[in-house]
Amino acid sequence: MIIVLASPRGFCAGVNMAIASLDLALQRLGPPVYVYHEIVHNQYVVNSFRARGVVFVDRLQDVPEGATLLFSAHGVSPEVRDLARERRLTAIDATCPLVTKVHLEAVRFARQGYTVILIGHRGHDEVVGTMGEAPAAIILVETPQDVAALDLPAHTKLAYLTQTTLSVDDAQRVIQSLRARFPEIEGPPKDDICYATQNRQEAVRQLSAEADIVLVLGSQNSSNSQRLRELAAERGIPAFLVDGADSIDLSWFRGDETVLITAGASAPESVVQGCVHLLQQRFGAALEERILRVEEVRFPLPRELRESS
């Protein structure tokens, strides 16, 4: 067996910032620290923080008045921010700056009188937050079929934005459908799909050609991890999304395969190495790391933590 270990993989700058923010908040303030939704979509990260006294909530009504609340990397709507102020919560905003960029674009387009077509997955935390910036002006689509079903008044000023963790190929198909139907539609000045999502997808595109099987480390509710699995599967390669080594079924392997291993942007390196170790231990796998790109992006800690340091 040969393991081809894709790089870049795993944590992106936004996830690193969010996790560092929560870790620092715990160190300075002590538990409990509340987090609105999961800090990132990964069960290992969430469970490790839960064991240290972090409380993850889906309703601000479950946070005691005056408590410390951290907004996750996926961002929140203005309504959530307003409610946090009403409840006198000490809010720490760990929203990824690339998600904030999409929020600001939505606000700008809405103020200029555009109807915004948001390409994304219904119910995803990031999409909910973005739509909350201008709910009367944003329409969500997921597929080219959704574009075909749009019923808009003539001469509507249109712009589109995308969720940051989409499949580049899927998003492009929807954008092409929008441009074909609405030639005057405007887009963001720069792609909304984040650099880390694109880099991890490009690594799977290039390296999966060598692979007999692909393992993607990430949780089931991680959008960018799901896209990596789908990308490999679209190429006809057996591909599995697993949380960690304990989720691997050894019957998937004969023992002489080339196995491509990568990780979504919210998966810690420890789970990657756990999978590598399992395959080395059971099949004597040789390891080859392939570095396609070096990521040097860093995001500063939230203002609230910088000001209190």
Active-site residues, by number, are 126
* CB atoms closer than 10 angstroms to residue 285: 21
Distance in angstroms (rounded) separating the CA atoms of residues 108 and 104: 6
Distance in angstroms (rounded) separating the CA atoms of residues 18 and 11: 10
Cβ-Cβ contacts under 8 Å for 98 (sequence gap 6 or more): 14, 164, 192, 194, 195
